[in-house]
Amino acid sequence: MKSIIVDKATELFLNLGFKSVTMDEIATAMGISKKTIYTHFATKSLLVEEVAYNAFHTISQGIFEIQAHEENPILEMYEVKRFVMTFLKDEKSSPQYQLQKFYPKIFRDLKQKQFGFMQSCIKENLRKGIEQHLFRASIDIDFIARIYFHGMMATKDRDLFPLQQFSMNELTDYYLEYHLRGIATEKGLKQLDQLTQK
């Protein structure tokens, strides 16, 4: 029952937002009593935390699988983007921003986990790109990996990038292209141009 509650809560939170969905609404959507949910999660914060970590685990696994099968590091970045956007429902409810605003401790802990995971993934992607002569050999891998993470986090800031002005899909595309153009060789730029023209 616990995993079923987490699955339904994940669906509702990602569609409507962590703040706006109540325990009553989760119970109603599942056709169970609120008491049943509280048997597994004493507070809404505990449920939000479980959903956030569960989503992080699912996304991490999906990214690992993409990295294991995709040889081209430029295409890999776009495949990862597509997978994450699909899982997070195009971030319509701004989950990261809502966590930061309403559940700051969960956000801080999750951000630390995301940073460690993303550093590993991005560094591997950069190394692969250098080996294939798609990224410049002169780039500082550690620096670029850190800048990439913090830039990606900034795109989720609704004060900086209001959803009325930018869709999350557009923002991620803009940021990916910005990142890749900054590190690509001539060969890499040709591949990127082919990909973005599609």
pLDDT value of position 89: 82
Helix (H, G, I), strand (E, B) or coil at 61: helix
> 138, 51, 131: which is closest to 87 by C-alpha?
51
Looking at residue 182, which CATH number applies to its domain?
1.10.357.10
Domains identified in the chain, total number? 1
Q: How many beta carbons lie within 10 A of that of residue 89, not counting itself?
A: 16
Residue 186 domain boundaries? 45-197
12 domain-assigned: no
Does residue 184 surpass a pLDDT of 90? yes
Per-residue pLDDT of 35-62, as tens digits, reads 999 999 999 999 999 999 999 999 999 9
pLDDT value of position 96: 83
- Predicted structure pTM score: 0.88
172 domain-assigned: yes
